[in-house]
Amino acid sequence: MLDYFFKKKLRLLNSVNFQYVFSQPSKKNTLEISILGRLNFLQYPRLGLSIPRKNIKHAHNRNLIKRLVRETFRLLQHKLIAMDFIVIAQKKITNLKNKKIINMLNILWSNYYR
């Protein structure tokens, strides 16, 4: 049985982990969202979020985007290769409906399937 939880071990928690990904990322992006990834030496993928206040002013919008990203990652974590991912949102993402954001994220995640 597959475990679909988003446990603490699946998160990038400190700046060292973020710097590791930012130093040599493989990048997939659209106008609204970018996913940076870098291979890790673990057996599972990990997720970090960068949703800057400068790009998305209201906290409820930032939280919504974070929830959508975490949910798509949680459902696809068993298909993804062992990489550290950082998701960065741009200003234009606030103009999209939730379903469109989810579809866009699924397409971006599909570039990192096993």
Concatenated DSSP letters of 7-56 = -GGGB--SHHHHHHHHHS-EEEE-SSEEEEEEE-SSSS-EEEEE--TTT-
Q: What is the mean pLDDT of residues 47-56?
A: 93
Asked if 67 contacts 59 with a C-beta cutoff of 8 angstroms, the reply is: no
Q: What is the mean pLDDT of residues 24-47?
A: 93
- For the domain spanning 9-112, the CATH number is 3.30.230.10
Q: What is the mean pLDDT of residues 87-107?
A: 93
pTM for this one? 0.92
Mode of pairing for the β-strands spanning 46-50 and 83-89: parallel
